[in-house]
Amino acid sequence: MTHGGRTGTGLRGLLRMRGGGDSSQPKSLLTRVVSWLIFIGITLYFVVPLFATFLHSIKPKPNGVPDPTLAYRTVLASPNFFIGLGYSFTVGVITILISLLIIVPTAYWVRLRAPRLRPVVEFVTLLPFVIPPVVYVFGLIRTYGGKPFQLLATDTGSNVVLVCAYVILSFPYMYRAVDTGLAAIDVRSLTEASQSLGAGWTRILLRVIFPNIRTAILSGAFLTLAIVVGEFTIATYLARNQAFGPYLSLLGRTQPYTPAVVTLVSFGLTWIAMLLIAFIGRGSRTRVQVAGAR
């Protein structure tokens, strides 16, 4: 997110040292009170469910004796929890690698050689926003479930389709992140310099372009990870029930207290991903990006 860091200029600026564009204007008491009320009210709405989830997680009373850490210990002792996290993280990492392998050369090529195809590429990367996940997985199942592909008949085939679907879901974020990164460097000069030193395309991409857009790549990667690890709809209908999303869903329908713990874990993971993105993007104009609803 870009923060308006403009400071007031001239006399007005000197008189009000609080900085910050139009926000430096002195506020009437009414504006302040109303703003505080809005802030407190909406904050309560956001904090209460999280706090309630926490309270719920420490509620178990086996044999009438309160045992606040029981649900936590149960989750930590549960193999399915780690299988789910492990599976989803693995899928996430593979997704990111494939996505980068496709998107970086594509975005690079669009900037360097095919700027006229930019609208087409952008349009294709935005398709996952237009096609809701449940509709998308519907199409995937009908296309790859039946003849001639029959990819979904095997475990491996289903995993492949899942990863490819996630790669498609990552395109809007990855393309924009990488393209923003490329905009900040002089792609043409770097390419020409590398070529005059005898570098081929693979070397240019791997040794020159990749390192120069590391920041952009990382923020795209963490956002992809945040989306993939909690994804439910596509994983469920491709029968990937070991994935973290379907696992939590089943837990929520069958267990009383442990889902609260896993919900908090899921929230914590989202926090970590977002903080990493903010940390990587500090100083640059990278905006906080948001995934679609699930």
Partner 1 sequence: MADAAVVVERGALPARPARRFGLAWVGLLPFFLFSFAFIVMPTAYLVAGSLQKNDKPSLQNYADLSTGIIPLALVTSIEVSLVTAIAGGILGFLLAYAIILGGLPRFLRTGVTTFSGVASNFAGVPLALAFTFTLGHLGVLTILLQDTLGYNLYDHDFSLSGKFGLELVYLYFQIPLMLLIIAPAIDGLKKEWREASENMGASPRDYWRRVALPILTPSILGTMILLFGNAFGAQATAYQLTGGALPLATLVISAQISGDVLHNPGLGYALAMTMVGIMAVSIGIYTLLQRRAERWLRS
**Cα-Cα-Cα-Cα dihedral sign, residues 51, 54, 56, 61:** negative
Of the pair 50, 76, the CB lying nearest partner 1 is at 50
Of the pair 76, 117, the CB lying nearest partner 1 is at 117
> Which residue is it, tokens 């050689």?
113
Minimum distance of partner 1 from residue 10's CB (angstroms): 11
Cβ neighbours for 180, distance < 8 A, ≥ 6 positions apart: 216, 285, 286
Minimum distance of partner 1 from residue 105's CB (angstroms): 6
Question: Position 262: which residue type?
Answer: V
Alpha-carbon span 74 to 66, nearest angstrom = 15
Minimum distance of partner 1 from residue 239's CB (angstroms): 11
Of the pair 157, 252, the CB lying nearest partner 1 is at 252
Of the pair 10, 62, the CB lying nearest partner 1 is at 10
Of the pair 76, 114, the CB lying nearest partner 1 is at 114
Question: How close are the terminal C-alpha atoms of the chain, in Å?
Answer: 23
Of the pair 39, 82, the CB lying nearest partner 1 is at 39
Minimum distance of partner 1 from residue 260's CB (angstroms): 6
If DSSP codes are grouped into helix, strand and coil, which group holds residue 213? coil
Asked if residues 112 and 187 have their Cβ atoms less than 8 Å apart, the reply is: yes
Alpha-carbon span 99 to 101, nearest angstrom = 5
3-state helix, strand, coil in the chain (%, to 5): 75, 0, 25
Q: Is 276 exposed, middle or buried (0-12, 13-18, 19+ CB in 10 A)?
A: middle
Query: Residue 128 phi/psi, 5° resolution?
Result: -60, -20
Which CA distances in Å does 111 have to 77, 105, 117? 51, 10, 10
Written as six digits, the tokens of 12 are 């007005």
